[in-house]
A and B are shown apart, each in its own frame.
Chain A
């Protein structure tokens, strides 16, 4: 019951080809939408295409693809223009102006379409259907080969997008990251912006008949967003987004055929499953990305927190020794002063004991030689920082503790020496406590 036994290369091959072409051409442009924080503009444009289609239909009085294509693209560009216009002249927040523009255009299109209701004769080959499954049925003859029309159209769009991205990579990069600089260095960021918008509209219209409008948004936003989680380099991000888009398309079609069968149904919408597959890829990337992934970031933070807690513990023990050498603190005592929870404290103490920095003698703890060395350096960092903050940052003695507390964990020997040099030569911190020497004997 896998569903794949119905696989038929002449049908499914073309469907997957169309899916891949659509996903890749969208993802190429989507990188810049995501980087420019304009992901929702893709959504707005795909919604607002409707009146363009309707108007083209009314004007040309035909359902041939070319006027409709032109009308839709024009409407898409107008969306970008209107949004910008309302934002700048009306001083309305960008999201709101987008919301106003695309819902209005969509409603207008709906009214126009309903007016045409009884005579709109749009066959499945027309630009409106988001039915990727129909791809193989509507073919045109190119030098003896029967190739689905959609595949031809999308190939052209992909080629144009690819050329645009490759030729204007530098300009796109600059105008995405720093439009002001882009303008001052002499090329027109606005021109790049509207070219990008035009291509977004073209891609949306072309993909519209394949995957439907919301799912174009999925292809615009999701693969690039996943790629953005994986890398910091633009070129790598673009390549990754293309690869992810291809995987999403293939996976989407296969799962559309197979997954419903697990529950006793027949296959479902490929376009929908493409979006779902892209979503899954995004979740995987967001969780497991090596540098920016949620898990890695979480673990990194946790480890840092534990490291800081361990350092706090030995620094505290050093201070206790300083005041009262007879006092042997136990875990509860340390916890109380550090406001930490039981489990991390125990872990940290255990960790410190294993690394020979403290000695656990029946529940009370004592610093070892190495532990004391490290603790002294920490306390020295802390007090040097306090000193420095009062002297150079003009902070009052009451406020410096917290700041120094944060800085001490990131201060190495070199920085301590520099701090020592930059502050007045004194062996007392602003609270009157002695600044311990770098080495026991020194």
Chain B
């Protein structure tokens, strides 16, 4: 009994060990040294063969995986937005016992246990059972979704492994065909596989398109959809059913573990490029198709690269690119926008600071010349918690924008445009302060900070609305400040830590 274990267990455990085990067997046959192995560069004819789809088999593989990528991208978009991204993972693991049982039952009945439809039916049934179990655990117990997923995924997979152990012992045995479900056998895809994937995938896409509005509503606002009389439960089941179908047809192509990536990565990448559901779905379909195409083409050109894994890696590269460069939700654009906002805020703080300084000293008089309104940089420096180099930078930028002029090293003055802008800013700031005091019951002593937080993002319409709301107070040019302006703040409190350090 023990030696028997040794043989079949190596082939039936974790996917990883499966590969290793297989390779290990191969290793025994060909003892190669570690150094003489590398990716062999393809010849020009190899490139041509793949790029122009001259090879029948390549054509089939690329067509099949592309269709799969498209349907997974579409269905995955809904699954992602419904926060069911990992459902595909649990589901694909849950298919294993079904596959094994289907094989056992079919073989016992004298049928061909390895026929694809039989195995797919088994996979679908146990996948659906897995989903039902997840939903039951989530709804009937105090456990949350993550635990439900973990339990179903691991217990079903464990049962599958145990059953595969039995399959190995059957006379028609060795589950050689079965493990392709764990790994995928992209390279050996035949026309009928591609047809199966194509027709099932297209059906899924068609259903998603027909139910597009309903599914979108389900993803974004389940409660609203329910109150509108949409059959929420039915739609949820429908979505899950679509995920099941796509996952199962994908098992064959890219394998159990990697199928989830096709469902998750392209939609997650698409999310960085758009705010709209329709656009997101389209981008996800395109990305799914592209990564499948490029991935399987690469594996066709470089025979040492497994296609399932290559498809995943290509889509990962697309994901990373999207995450960094995506517009409007990528990291770079968000950083840039934040930077722009900060620049704007700093400029506004500078101008308002100058204005308030002038106002407090009584230097402000429109008939007077700008030259008489000089402000020492130190005075502005003390008004806010900015560091000296930063203030220098802000002033430099304001100089470039011709809002401020440096008179000499420590003395600056506003330009014509700068004064105008400063007046506008102060006006808006005080308008908002007044609004907060009048309508939001904010104490005058606190209102400065509150207004500070929001005035930079006020739209012109809001400003005019505020003006009309507070019309009686705004009859003259610039509003009076509703609180005393302390231009020398750090005398009373330590507003500026840098200033204190400098003393």
Contact = CB atoms under 8 A, between A and B. Distances in A.
A271 B17 CA distance: 14
Interface string A275-319: 110110010001000001010010000000000000000000000
Interface in A4-48: 6, 11, 34, 37-40, 42-43, 47
A91 interface: yes
B368 interface: no
Given A6-B1, A39-B147, A228-B142, A118 B89 contact: no
B337 to A, nearest CB: 13
B85 A96 contact: yes
Contacts of B37: 115-119
Most A CB within 10 A of own CB, among B88, B143, B312:
B143
Interface stretch (A126-134, A154-162, A406-414, A420-428): A126-134
Contacts of B272: 90
A99 B86 contact: yes
A81 interface: no
Contact of A103 (B34, B144, B264, B267): B264
Interface in B142-175: 142-147, 149-151, 153-155, 157-166, 169
A89 interface: yes
Interface string A86-99: 10011111011111
Interface residues of B, number: 84
Nearest to A36: B146
B114 interface: no
Interface stretch (B23-31, B52-60, B230-238, B453-461): B23-31
B257 interface: yes
Contact of B12 (A213, A260, A269): A269
6 contacts: A117-B304, A129-B9, A267-B1, A268-B165, A275-B162, A292-B141
Interface in A95-122: 95-100, 103-104, 106-111, 113-122
Contacts of A122: 20, 24
Contacts of B162: 256, 268-269, 272-273, 275-276
A217 B153 contact: yes
Interface residues of A, number: 83
A196 interface: no
Interface stretch (A175-183, A218-226, A335-343, A346-354): A218-226
B151 A222 contact: yes
B391 to A, nearest CB: 30
Nearest to A298: B140
Contacts of B23: 113, 116-118, 120
A34 B85 contact: no
Interface string B56-92: 0000000000000000000000001001111011000
Nearest to B262: A103
B309 to A, nearest CB: 4
B10 to A, nearest CB: 7
Most A CB within 10 A of own CB, among B39, B88, B89, B304:
B89
Contacts of B264: 96, 99-100, 103
B272 to A, nearest CB: 7
A242 interface: no
Interface in B251-269: 257-258, 260-261, 263-265, 267-268
Most A CB within 10 A of own CB, among B13, B150, B153, B165:
B150
B157 A215 contact: yes
Contact of B150 (A100, A106, A208, A217): A217
Contact of B258 (A93, A106, A267): A106
B305 interface: yes
B18 to A, nearest CB: 10
Interface string B380-396: 00000000000000000
Contact of A111 (B2, B137, B141, B309): B309
B24 A269 contact: no
The secondary structure that dominates the A interface is helix
A34 B155 contact: no
B49 interface: no
A115 B161 contact: no
B5 interface: yes
B316 interface: yes
Interface of A: 6, 11, 34, 37-40, 42-43, 47, 50, 61, 86, 89-93, 95-100, 103-104, 106-111, 113-122, 124, 128-131, 133-134, 208, 212-215, 217-218, 220-222, 225, 228-229, 256, 260, 263, 265-269, 271-276, 278-279, 282, 286, 292, 294, 297
B43 interface: no
B16 A128 contact: yes
B406 interface: no
Contacts of A121: 24, 27
A268 B9 CA distance: 9
A111 B310 contact: yes
Contacts of A103: 257-258, 260-261, 264-265, 312, 316
B313 interface: yes
B4 interface: yes
A271 B158 contact: yes
B142 A275 contact: no
A38 B146 CA distance: 7
Contacts of B4: 266
B430 interface: no
Contacts of B257: 47, 103, 106
Given A93-B83, A120-B24, A269-B161, A107 B309 contact: yes
A220 B141 CA distance: 19
Contact of B16 (A50, A218, A225): A50
Give me the 8 closest cross-chain CB pairs, A-B, nearest first: A275-B158, A272-B162, A268-B165, A218-B154, A279-B155, A103-B261, A272-B161, A221-B150
Contact of A104 (B163, B164, B165, B316): B316
Contact of B169 (A108, A266, A275, A279): A266
B158 A215 contact: yes
Interface string B343-377: 00000000000000000000000000000000000
Contact of B9 (A120, A134, A225): A134
Most A CB within 10 A of own CB, among B9, B24, B154:
B154
A156 to B, nearest CB: 22
A269 B80 contact: no
B478 interface: no
